[in-house]
Structure 1
Amino acid sequence: MRVLKECGDCVCAVPTCPPTTQHSSVEHVQQLWKEWEIQLLVLASFSLQVILLFSAAFRKRHSSRVLSALLWLSYLSADSIAVFVLGRLAAHTSDPQHQLVLFWAPFLLLHLGGQDTITAFSMEDCMLWKRHLLNFTIQVALAIYIVRKQWHGGSQLVAPMVLMFISGTIKYAERIRALRRAGSRSSSFNAGGRHLASGLSRYYDGLLSIISEKKEENFEHVMDVTCGGFFMKFDFLMDVNPPFSGIDLQDLRIAIAERIHRFDDGASDLVYKIVEIQLSLVHDYLYTKFGRVTGVLHRLITLVLTSTALVLFLEARVDHQLQGLVNYSRADVTISYILLVGAVTMEISSTFMWSLLSYWPYMPIAYWRTFDYDKIFHCVPKGLHPGSRMEWSGKMKQYNMLDGCIQEIQAGRLERMMGSIGIKRDYTTHVVISPEVKKVLLVKLLEIKTNAPGGGGLSSSSFRGQWSQWWAALQTKDYLGAGQQSESAAQRALQLSNIQGLAFVSSVYLWHMVTDICLVADKTASASEFRSFSQALSNYMMYLVAKRNVMLDSCAYHVLHKSRHSLLCTRPAIVADRSAFLQKVYDGVYHGSRALDQAREVSLELLRPEGAAYRWELIATVWVDMLCYIARNCGAEFHAKHLITGGEFVSHVKIVLVVLGFSFHEYEEVELA
């Protein structure tokens, strides 16, 4: 019993953590957070600015979702943290040891001004520029109040604080101005009537003069011409001004097309490079502070102000140490140095990024009219912007309706459950746009521009397959002879597809299935460049309408949904063998929807032996016709939105049409028969 009692005493004597100890630990953490909250949040704000500065420059070249998510979180968090800390500083009570935290208020204003590489995450931010202007007014007033508190608290840091306040106000105001400029959807370039005609004439004269020259040897001239046409191209891309409305430059535009057509691939590469540079300028104009020459002056001013503030802070710090007036926290002093040195470093980095990563330094003096452009900016080495450097992702997304349905059918239970709550797989892939694809597109456009009646003018009112009909008629004359009245297989295929009367999205789906059937049923390897071109554009166009909802109204959505449902209903045949399924459709063994049967009829006509010579070229011409129509009509919002996600090929096609001098008509139909 005595042993048990002693053991019991030992058990009872085991120490336990009293509740007061746990409570004191929580209080200790809370006390630490209360003391160092502002310091940690200021460092977080600075870190977000560093991320935005160096990450945003990559988004026009990459379509990474990870990068987009990182920038989205950083962009939203940066403003929220800066505003919160400014409020905390305004309510900060006098503490001699942490009095230095008031010195950080102007830096938060600087952070609210954002980085030169990103003023807006999306076009929606630009449309809300008035809200940002209201926030600017409130935050500047709050910063003035904090500066006044520091003024009464001690005069040693007033001078560097005022300099940083001026710098932060300039940066913030510049951001509002950039948002307002982008939100207007116009370049504010007054190019009406005679001025527009003369501007276009100068642009095409310059373009004509460089087509036959090597870009490496005439870099400055190419940049002059390329940047010189920016504002007209920008207004056209944003649907502000349709090009060539009421302006007769037909002879000049045809001369350019003929000149490109005569020269080798170097001229073709130059056309795409011009378009690439101009879209890079559009990106910078809409989403960065690089789009104005006054930005250079602002960067120089803020750099001088922040550098001077750093020197004054060093002097003030030395005076304090000698006189022993204030014993600032060592951590606060370190953070102040980080903010000052970081501000100077980021201003220098922004200037270098503007010089190295943007083409705005080459903008002609005709639009700046501020200083001697040739002497200052043409001294920038041409090697800084080599022609081999991509200014966008250079990729096309691909979506095949049949493959997408197969993947949906084969999806697991978990994937189907996630799809029921709206979390669906994309079922898209991407391919690098090959030089062959670019060449085929440009060759077809040049053929239409130089040979079609009226220079191949486009109508944006409705899709009628004008180019395809003209090309089929031209091939019929060459094949049967000018005096023959019978139709070729190409013309019959177009009639069977009802390309002149069918709705655009229905035509896209029909020719998408025609392309898939012909890829399986055509056993020949002729015209391989047109074959691969047609396959790439077929999947790209289906991606645009089915995944990006381009040109997709309620009727078109119903057409796609019905077509997709009819394919999903054939799950045993489709999953077993995709190629065998398409072969059965072609052989007439399987009958699905009306659209699938119509695609079979068109394919049968195209796969006749007499159509082997031009089969794939006709399909390629149809896709060029559709691609150019969708480029003109998919809307400015689509083009602007995707400039920050690696870019879309259809945006490049829209500018290529302008470079080649295609005219656009809003309501009238242009017959190409």
Structure 2
Amino acid sequence: MKLNLRVAILASLALQAFLIFFAPVRKRRSNWWITTPLWSAYLVSDSVALYAFGLISKAQINGGTSDSPVDASGHLLAFWAPFLLLHLGGPFTITAFSLEDNELWGRHLLNLSIHLVSACYVFYQSLSGNKLIVPSILMFIGGSIKYIARTRALYLASFRMLRDSLLPSPDPGPNYAKIMEGCIAQEEANIQPLIAPWQSHHVGAEGEKFLDDRTVIKEAFFYFKKFKGLLVDLIFSFHDRDHSMQFFNSRTAKDAFRVIEVELNFFYDLLYTKSAIVHCPSGYIYRAISVGCIVAAFASFHVLNKHGFHEYDVQITYTLLLGAIGLEFAILGMVICSDWTIAKIGTSEKHGRSLFIGSIFIKFLLKFKSESSPFALRILSARWSKSVSQYNLIDSRLRRWPKWIDKLIDARLRKWPRWIEEPLSLIPLRELFDDLKSGWVEPYNDKLGELIFDELKQKASIANDLQSIKEMCAARGKWALEHTKTGEDCEMLLPFICDVDYDDSLLLWHIATELCYNTDTDESTNDHRETSKILSDYMLYLMIKQPGMMSALAGIGQIRFQDTCAETDRFFDDKLSDNDHICLRKSPFCSYRSEAC
């Protein structure tokens, strides 16, 4: 039992370290070989800690272990129990793996109560002559604070609580009668009218041509607080919309995407990490108490007479203490170097000295996170992958597995016993292989950002009222057809664009983009040839590989995509010979320039 406990508690510490340092990677990469280990570690970490808790409780009930004295062993086990509370508190960088985990805060609250009672019971069992009572109490306080913080972070990020926290207080609106009376009186007295009380007083960086990194974070934090109600289906006022449009209309595409990049990073931290509860006065206090208790527990254990303890157990205890301290200081470094810290300092500078000190500190942090910093630091501070995931319909069908492989798999499964066949049928092998051979990424470039930003600015210029906004969002390519040089010839295509569902329209435009890309190869007459194809493949990637981002069409979109794939397979099988298939597998796009297509 003692060996199992040693392995379990060290494994729990290792899983915490893995999650702390590698959980932020999923903001920049969504590959299955990255998300699967993180998901497994996220699930297993709690199970391993609970398993170790059970071993400690069982050892206490049985009165110790066989390889060390009963009293000393029980005291040391009681000291190990708070470490498991610390581990169950979870790492700073990941509290939820998906949004659904936030809705399970009630389950975590129940587990918190049970585990606190269990830890108290283990501690109570070893009170008699316990030499480790002081470090045990200190670790119990630190571990309890961490566990409570995790449950609170899940609770605050749940849909209902987040929505309730963002609801404004009841507001009857401005008293227009008194306002007009005041304006009339000011006009009669030849006094310059003041700003109306319902207008926003936020002054953005409209006067700056290019935004520095500090201004980018400041503006992103402002719009994050202003528009985070969109996460829970709350509306925003037309004044907020107008101020946002005014700010982005005066920006370049590069600066606009920099602001949005930081803003989305704030959204991620709010939903999946402890940043929202750490970067506040109460959060700073609980962090200081937790770290102080852990350091004090280490000092208390270090000066303690360890006679009677097993040498291996002492080494494991030092490993747990040093590991906890190291991880806490690593988290402290992440907290200090985060965008939240820069934004909080930027919004709280009120007098000259704090302004000067804050500016120096922010300059240091921005230099640490800049592109001129070492490669390892840039990787840790990167907010996204700066790449665009791609999925192409034609390419996926040309690279599909030969039919004889599917037949072989099906025939082999039918020969196996039913108790083996059913579990294997649950493993999506074909989908896994399809991801390996059909998906890829393209690097993001400023040309792509400029195309998107310019199109959005053109659309926003005609969005004057609610009706025009609805028409603009429902266009689905109508704008592109009406503003081409051959607009009259494209009128016959409008019914195929406007009178179909969104997913159907997306597939039609994807195929049309692919055909135009491979037939019009003169880039001198078409500046957006490459960027249009990247956007087209990205939209299909969202529809097929990330249907949760298009929940309104996830089900029917998958069905129509499967039907389109079957029709494409039939077309290639009928029109192309065996030699063509061999050529296509080597060069997927050569068929588009042939007469067969």
Specify the TM-score bucket, using the shorter chain as the normaliser: 0.7 to 0.9
CA contact (8 A) 1:303 1:344 kept: yes
2:139 maps to which of 148, 164, 189: 164
Residue 441 of structure 2 corresponds to residue 433 of structure 1: no
Secondary structure of 2:529's counterpart equals helix
- Tell me the percent identity: 26
Q: Please, which moves more after superposition, 532-541 or 571-580? A: 571-580
CA positional deviation for 1:225:
2.3
- 2:521 & 2:222 partners in 1: Cα distance? 49
- 1:178 & 1:299 partners in 2: Cα distance? 14
Alignment of 1:291-302 (within 5 A): 291-292=276-277, 293=280, 294-302=282-290
Residue in structure 2 matched with residue 282 of structure 1 by the alignment: 267
Deviations 1:135-154 (A, max 9, x none): 110000000011112212x2
1:80 maps to which of 47, 56, 65: 47
CA positional deviation for 1:61:
1.8
Alignment of 1:36-185 (within 5 A): 36-92=3-59, 93-94=63-64, 95-96=70-71, 98-99=73-74, 100-152=76-128, 154-184=129-159
Larger-Rg structure: 1
- 2:544 & 2:16 partners in 1: Cα distance? 37
- 2:350 & 2:301 partners in 1: Cα distance? 35
Query: Which letter does structure 2 place at the counterpart of 1:103?
Result: F
Q: Which segments of 5 or more consecutive residues in structure 2 lack a partner in the other structure?
A: 65-69, 175-195, 373-377, 414-424
Residue in structure 2 matched with residue 629 of structure 1 by the alignment: none
1:465 maps to which of 466, 469, 475: 475
Alignment of 1:648-659 (within 5 A): none
Residue 531 of structure 2 corresponds to residue 537 of structure 1: no
Deviations 1:184-203 (A, max 9, x none): 36262344687999899345
Deviations 1:264-310 (A, max 9, x none): xxx32211111111111111111111222233322211111111111
- 1:531 & 1:178 partners in 2: Cα distance? 45
Secondary structure of 2:308's counterpart equals coil
Secondary structure of 2:388's counterpart equals strand
Alignment of 1:30-41 (within 5 A): 34-41=1-8
Structure showing greater relative contact order (alpha-carbon pairs closer than 8 Å, 6 or more residues apart)? 1
Residue in structure 1 matched with residue 516 of structure 2 by the alignment: 518
CA contact (8 A) 2:29 2:385 kept: yes
Q: Which segments of 5 or more consecutive residues in structure 1 lack a partner in the other structure?
A: 1-33, 261-266, 321-325, 480-486, 591-673
The number of residue pairs the alignment matches comes to 518
- 1:463 & 1:435 partners in 2: Cα distance? 25
CA contact (8 A) 1:306 1:340 kept: yes
Secondary structure of 2:250's counterpart equals helix
Query: Which letter does structure 1 place at the counterpart of 2:302?
Result: L
Secondary structure of 1:62's counterpart equals coil
**Aligned pair in 2 of structure 1 residues 508, 81: CA closer, same or farther (>3 Å)?**
same
CA contact (8 A) 1:215 1:222 kept: yes
- 2:226 & 2:37 partners in 1: Cα distance? 34
Q: TM-score if structure 1 supplies the norm length?
A: 0.69
Residue in structure 1 matched with residue 299 of structure 2 by the alignment: 311
Secondary structure of 1:155's counterpart equals coil
CA positional deviation for 1:222:
3.5
Residue in structure 1 matched with residue 183 of structure 2 by the alignment: none
- 1:229 & 1:248 partners in 2: Cα distance? 13
CA positional deviation for 1:180:
0.9
- 2:233 & 2:348 partners in 1: Cα distance? 21
CA positional deviation for 1:438:
0.8
**Aligned pair in 2 of structure 1 residues 228, 241: CA closer, same or farther (>3 Å)?**
same
- 1:250 & 1:311 partners in 2: Cα distance? 55
- 1:199 & 1:161 partners in 2: Cα distance? 56
Residue in structure 2 matched with residue 350 of structure 1 by the alignment: 331
CA positional deviation for 1:498:
2.8
Secondary structure of 2:496's counterpart equals coil
- 2:497 & 2:58 partners in 1: Cα distance? 69
CA contact (8 A) 1:254 1:455 kept: no
Deviations 1:11-55 (A, max 9, x none): xxxxxxxxxxxxxxxxxxxxxxx3422222211111111111211
- 1:409 & 1:56 partners in 2: Cα distance? 34
- 1:416 & 1:532 partners in 2: Cα distance? 40
CA contact (8 A) 1:104 1:336 kept: yes
Residue in structure 2 matched with residue 596 of structure 1 by the alignment: none
CA-atom RMSD, angstroms?
Answer: 3.5
Secondary structure of 2:256's counterpart equals helix
Residue in structure 2 matched with residue 449 of structure 1 by the alignment: 460
Deviations 1:310-337 (A, max 9, x none): 11112222xx5xxxxx411111111111
